[in-house]
């Protein structure tokens, strides 16, 4: 099944190739933005059976997220048996990745490759309100080079990367940091102490419109790199939904089918309402952040 004659590359080489991919090829506009800002924590790990590397990296990421130093985390696994061209399949790769993420998962690896999820809950100071908030949509997602192979039954370029890896990020936290960044850039001060007035709502609404544009551009990037006859990938005409051959936020899937997902325009108004309510003093600081809904099967 696998070509065990692959020569192992150094971790430094793998890191260089991943960084070049982020800079030049990554379809996700928001992800590339965070990478260029230095807020994407990318770590290359060797094949680890104990899970120590995964746990240590995740704990480090949590510390950085608390300080707003990092927004997303990517665990890259330097396993020659899973290199592009090694002869392994996407199913081989996601099965391996499911075993690697086991220290952070509540579901068995066999379940994770059949649409199971790995949710991490982070209690963080909200980048917009400054209130302690539970972000429970830090989801772990598997990516592998085999997903870019048109002959693979699990062909899906949205889930492809140069090396097998696991991404951990939160859409809501990412949007929160985006709104904070723009406020800092515009006013040269933090958003925490801003009055909850019409000017603040306008700022947040403008950020939501830009976040929607970023998401739409991302989907169009993926459409351009995908054979949609093999892997349905579409954006609805009104740009309220997008169609993909996987379900967010599943860790991985051993069977492909089309799902409909919400675009930011459908849920950012609710997030803004919660922010405004909290900044007006009308919400418990322990409240959860708004989370996006899982994709709906078509």
In a domain, 262, yes or no: yes
Cα radius of gyration (the chain): 19
Q: Calculate what percentage of the chain has a pLDDT beyond 70.
A: 92
For all residues of the chain together, what is the average pLDDT? 93
Same domain for 68 and 161?
yes
Both tokens assigned to 155: 């062909």
> Is the pLDDT confidence value at 164 over 70?
yes
Same domain for 152 and 29?
yes
b/e per residue 228-262 (b: at least 16 CB within 10 A): eebbbbebeeebebbbbbbbbbbbbbbebebbbbb
Q: What is the DSSP letter of 26?
A: -
pLDDT band at 182 (very low <50, low <70, confident <90, very high): very high
- pLDDT at residue 286, as a whole number: 46
In a domain, 24, yes or no: yes
In a domain, 125, yes or no: no
In a domain, 213, yes or no: yes
Same domain for 231 and 146?
no
In a domain, 211, yes or no: yes
Same domain for 146 and 229?
no
pLDDT band at 52 (very low <50, low <70, confident <90, very high): confident
Same domain for 110 and 250?
no
Higher pLDDT, 118 or 296: 118
Alpha-carbon gap, residue 234 to 241, rounded angstroms: 9
Query: Which residue in 143, 21, 153, 136 sits closest to 76, CA to CA?
Result: 143
Query: 112, 146, 168 — which closes off a domain?
Result: 168
In a domain, 149, yes or no: yes
In a domain, 130, yes or no: no
Same domain for 277 and 258?
yes
Sequence-ordered list of residues with C-beta below 8 angstroms from that of 63, at least 6 positions apart, any chain: none
- pLDDT at residue 189, as a whole number: 95
Same domain for 79 and 51?
yes
As to burial, measured by CB atoms within 10 angstroms (0-12 exposed, 13-18 middle, 19+ buried), residue 127 is buried
* Number of structural domains the chain divides into: 2
Same domain for 151 and 26?
yes
Same domain for 27 and 158?
yes
pLDDT in tens, 79-96: 999 999 999 999 999 999
> Is the pLDDT confidence value at 296 over 80?
no
Least confident of 103-117, 150-164, 284-298: 284-298
Alpha-carbon gap, residue 205 to 201, rounded angstroms: 6
Bridging pattern class, strands 119-125 and 40-46: unpaired
Alpha-carbon gap, residue 223 to 38, rounded angstroms: 27
For residue 204, what is the enclosing H or E element?
helix 198-224
Alpha-carbon gap, residue 52 to 74, rounded angstroms: 15
Same domain for 243 and 221?
yes
- pLDDT at residue 50, as a whole number: 65
Sequence-ordered list of residues with C-beta below 8 angstroms from that of 44, at least 6 positions apart, any chain: 11, 14, 15, 18, 76, 77, 78
Same domain for 114 and 25?
yes
Alpha-carbon gap, residue 141 to 250, rounded angstroms: 7
Sequence-ordered list of residues with C-beta below 8 angstroms from that of 269, at least 6 positions apart, any chain: 208
Same domain for 147 and 32?
yes
In a domain, 131, yes or no: no
Q: Report the SS3 class of residue 221.
A: helix
Domain that holds residue 256: 177-297
Alpha-carbon gap, residue 121 to 138, rounded angstroms: 6
């Amino acid at each position: 099944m696998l070509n065990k004659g692959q020569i192992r590359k150094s971790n430094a080489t793998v890191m260089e190739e991943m960084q070049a991919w982020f800079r030049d090829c990554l379809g996700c506009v928001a992800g590339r933005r965070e990478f260029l800002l230095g807020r994407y924590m990318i770590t290359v790990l060797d094949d680890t059976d104990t899970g120590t590397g995964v746990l240590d990296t995740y704990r480090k990421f949590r510390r950085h997220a608390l300080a707003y130093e990092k927004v997303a985390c990517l665990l890259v696994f330097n396993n020659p048996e899973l290199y592009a061209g090694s002869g392994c399949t996407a199913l081989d790769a996601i099965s391996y990745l499911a075993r690697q993420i086991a220290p952070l998962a509540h579901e068995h690896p066999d379940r994770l490759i059949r649409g199971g999820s790995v949710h991490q809950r982070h209690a963080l100071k909200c980048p917009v309100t400054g209130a302690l908030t539970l972000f429970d949509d830090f989801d772990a997602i598997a990516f592998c080079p085999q997903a870019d192979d048109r002959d693979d039954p699990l062909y899906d370029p949205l889930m492809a990367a140069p090396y097998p890896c696991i991404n951990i990020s939160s859409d809501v936290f990412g949007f929160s940091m985006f709104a904070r960044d723009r406020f800092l850039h515009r006013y040269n001060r933090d958003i925490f102490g801003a009055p909850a007035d019409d000017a603040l709502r306008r700022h947040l609404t403008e950020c939501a419109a830009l976040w929607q544009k970023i998401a739409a551009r991302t989907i169009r990037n993926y459409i351009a790199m995908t054979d949609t006859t093999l892997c349905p990938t579409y954006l609805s005409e009104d740009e309220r939904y997008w169609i993909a051959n996987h379900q967010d936020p599943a860790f991985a899937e051993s069977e492909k089918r089309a799902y409909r997902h919400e675009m930011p325009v459908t849920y950012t108004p609710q997030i803004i309402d919660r922010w405004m309510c909290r900044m007006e003093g009308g919400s418990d600081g322990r409240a959860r952040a708004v989370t996006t809904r899982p994709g709906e099967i078509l």
